Chain A
Amino acid sequence: MKLAELAAPRQDYSYGFLDAFAKRELRRRMLKAIAIPGYQVTYASRELPIARGWGTGGLQVTLSLAGPDDVLKVIDQGADDSVNAANLRRFIARMTGVATTTDACRATIIQSRHRVPEERLRERQALVLQVPDPEPLRHVEPNMSRAREMHADADYALMWLSLYEQLVRFKQFIGGASYPVMVHQRYLMSPSPIPRWDTPTLHQAPHLTLLSAGREKRLYAVPPYTDVYPIEFADVHFRVESQADRVCANTGAAHKYMDEVPQPDGTSLFRLSDTGYAEKLIKRLRGETVKIGPTYYDSNGEFYKPGYLKSRDGQDIEL
């Protein structure tokens, strides 16, 4: 007996893999999420041909958004070429017929895990972030019904208490990726595990950000031009990871988010985490003409919205 005899005959899937009802539900949920910035909207997360926790949330959003004219970029930790990113990109392209790219400026939909591109996104672009844990209060309030009540009351005292504790114990904020932010002065939101470096990019951004957790069945959004502020004290400020003294070994770029590459001799090399951006820089080094968009951080490491980041250097905390 052959395998083909056992398997059902091949049938075509719906456009975008998901059936029409699923896509309609997701679009409605997205509209609701956009209408209430930062608010977590539940949805019926569908089964997909990849495992939960591998980007199913982002995938469902992208599949419901994409049309034949869209151009797709998929990022995994900054890279376009990881197995996971490549699989997702191929799958979405096959199911929707979208064009694909590694250029953040060209893409209309960017599905990403753990990074925002270095080049500034524009209007009419959508950033879809894959979210493992949508609940920013989980660490301070394990009881989820209680956490939902706290969102309802905008009672986020425990988050500032945890900041207080960090300062008392470590003299600095120790939160790394997923640094919690207040969206539109109302909801506390986890920006997905993007590094602190990327957090400011969500503030008053021209593009739409959609965040979706497939396993947790929740999605939320930051609409264009919405206030997003990391939680901080009036006198002790949020800081991004310092990229000073790090130069990309491949491109010579500085003041961008770097991956550290440990060397056999115990030292480290650094490489741009954003491979799409690195690719363009290399092309330019080779003398090819390439259009590189303005970046969030300039060559001195200054964020493009002056004054938004109140502190670049370490503060001495007096206890």
Chain B
Amino acid sequence: MAATMFDAPRLVITRPLLQARGLVKRYGRLTAVDGVDVTVYPGEMLGIVGESGSGKSTVLRLLNLEEATDGGEYYLDLPEYDGVNLFDLDRYHRREVRINQIGIVYQNPHLGLRMRTTSSGNVAERLIMAGERTFATLRRTARESLAVSEFPLDRMDDLPIRLSGGMQQRVQLAKAIALKPAALLLDEPTTGLDVSVQALVLDTLIRLRRELRIATVIVSHDLGVIRTLADRVMVMRRGCVVEQGLTDQVLDDPQHPYTQQLVHAKL
């Protein structure tokens, strides 16, 4: 659909909140991501699907500014970063963007949480990083954020290591949204959870998508999750996007041979 973006008249004139162009990432001779564009509008959830090694998680890590790119531009439509290619920022300012404007939920909670710091402390850390130094405010905001991600507040001071997988993901989510970021990145957020727990987490994500109006990118190999959550889908294969479009359109009327194969393998 990319070709039609420019010649068709446009109704929605909002600018994309998150826009990355020509992402490239190489590991030695392997090109993990090869010229990928990502565009997400406010309140929109973009799904990235593809098999293991297709580069979808690498795209997410690039968008999280946690790895250096080998090419590409990355913009967030925010007044303070107007026209600033985030890849050009130095380490200090990149950290500032990551703290204030990007939240991430990893598949593996060990990557996103301090297992031996209380759950509320994990959320409070975000606020501390942004400069908050009032204990009462830290408590209040951590509590609010955990409540939004539907974490049981009577357990807010438990260590994540004592929590179930679903609860750990909620703590990650609360931490990710604590500062109301522009972009929320979800890396297989429900993989490995029980089906019923998965449903609860999905429901929370749907509600957040509706309420927060942020740009969300979700990476998953589970097409059911993608169908439930994502507004649009990008299909990746060998570091490239082979197809993208509205979720139901890509899943119900896939155009590319690879997508057809993927969809039929999963349904």
Contacts and interface: CB of A to CB of B under 8 A. Distances in A.
Contact of B135 (A153, A155, A167, A169): A167
Interface in A211-238: 233-236
Contacts of A158: 125
Nearest to A167: B135
Given A153-B91, A155-B95, A157-B129, A234 B118 contact: no
A298 interface: no
Task: Classify the interface of chain B: helix, strand, loop or mixed.
Answer: helix
Contact of B134 (A161, A165, A234, A318): A234
Contacts of B121: 161, 164-165, 168
Contact of B118 (A160, A169, A317): A169
Q: Among B91, B95, B125, B135, which residue has the most Cβ atoms of chain A within 10 A?
A: B135
A319 interface: yes
A124 B92 CA distance: 39
B139 interface: yes
B136 interface: yes
Contacts of A157: 125, 128-129
A157 B117 CA distance: 13
Nearest to A234: B134
Interface in A277-319: 317-319
Given A153-B91, A168-B120, A234 B133 contact: yes
A164 B128 contact: yes
Contact of B117 (A160, A165, A318): A165
Interface string A165-176: 101110000000
Interface string B127-148: 0110001111011000000000
B124 interface: yes
B252 interface: no
B135 A236 contact: yes
Contacts of B67: none
Nearest to A158: B125
Contacts of B95: 153, 155
B157 interface: yes
Given A153-B91, A153-B95, A169-B118, A164 B135 contact: yes
Nearest to A233: B135
B124 A161 contact: yes
Interface size, A (range): 10 to 19
Contacts of A167: 135
Contacts of B125: 157-158, 161
Contacts of A168: 118, 120-121, 157
A235 B136 contact: yes
B21 to A, nearest CB: 29
Given A153-B95, A319-B139, A161 B117 contact: yes
Contacts of A155: 95, 129
Contacts of B134: 233-235
Interface in A139-187: 153, 155, 157-158, 160-161, 163-165, 167-169
Contacts of A153: 91-92, 95
Contacts of A163: 135
B151 to A, nearest CB: 15
Interface string A248-290: 0000000000000000000000000000000000000000000
Nearest to A156: B128
A163 to B, nearest CB: 8
A164 B128 CA distance: 10
B59 to A, nearest CB: 26
Contact of B138 (A164, A169, A318): A164
A234 to B, nearest CB: 4
Interface in B78-103: 91-92, 95
A235 B138 CA distance: 11
Interface in B96-121: 117-118, 120-121
B136 A160 contact: no
Given A165-B118, A235-B136, A319-B139, A160 B128 contact: yes
Nearest to B136: A235
A59 to B, nearest CB: 38
Contacts of B138: 164, 233
A238 to B, nearest CB: 13
B124 to A, nearest CB: 5
Given A155-B95, A168-B120, 19 more contacts: A153-B91, A153-B92, A153-B95, A157-B128, A161-B124, A161-B128, A163-B135, A164-B138, A165-B117, A165-B118, A168-B118, A168-B121, A169-B118, A233-B134, A234-B133, A234-B134, A234-B135, A318-B139, A319-B139
Q: 3 tightest CB-CB pairs across the interface, nearest first?
A: A233-B135, A157-B129, A234-B134
Interface of B: 91-92, 95, 117-118, 120-121, 124-125, 128-129, 133-136, 138-139, 157
20 contacts: A153-B91, A153-B95, A157-B129, A158-B125, A160-B128, A161-B117, A161-B121, A161-B124, A161-B128, A164-B121, A164-B128, A164-B135, A164-B138, A165-B117, A165-B121, A167-B135, A233-B133, A233-B138, A235-B134, A235-B135
